[in-house]
Amino acid sequence: MKDDNIIDVQHVTCGLVPLMQTHLGGTEPEVETVSFKVRQGIQTELWNSFGTGRDWRLTAIESDLFFDVVTFERVEQDELDPLGLMDF
């Protein structure tokens, strides 16, 4: 994974989740994964903030030296199960 493909939002302390959702929502349709640099220590909050039923799924949070890298993958939408409830 190259650093130039990672959106750096580690300076954001308030409104991080809406900012990340805005970036994800504006991503070109051919892009399958998006990664963000975030400040360390907020892994639990991020896992809890991104649930099911969206266009993107939080797949990994990896620790780096001074930040964490959060990776999302695009979810193919199922018209019969738009909330992804059949996965549970």
pTM: 0.79
Q: Is 43 a member of any domain?
A: yes
Q: Is 19 a member of any domain?
A: yes
Average pLDDT, the chain: 85
Q: Is 84 a member of any domain?
A: no
26: CATH: 3.30.110
Q: Is 88 a member of any domain?
A: no
User: 39 lies in which domain range?
Assistant: 3-77
Q: Is 62 a member of any domain?
A: yes
What is the per-residue pLDDT across 5-26, written as a single tens digit (0 to 9) for each?
A: 799 999 998 999 999 999 999 9
Number of domains in the chain: 1
Per-residue model confidence (pLDDT) at position 1: 43
Q: Is 72 a member of any domain?
A: yes
Task: Measure the CA–CA gap between 61 and 71, rounded to whole angstroms.
Answer: 6
Task: Measure the CA–CA gap between 26 and 29, rounded to whole angstroms.
Answer: 9
CB 8 within 8 A of CB 37: yes
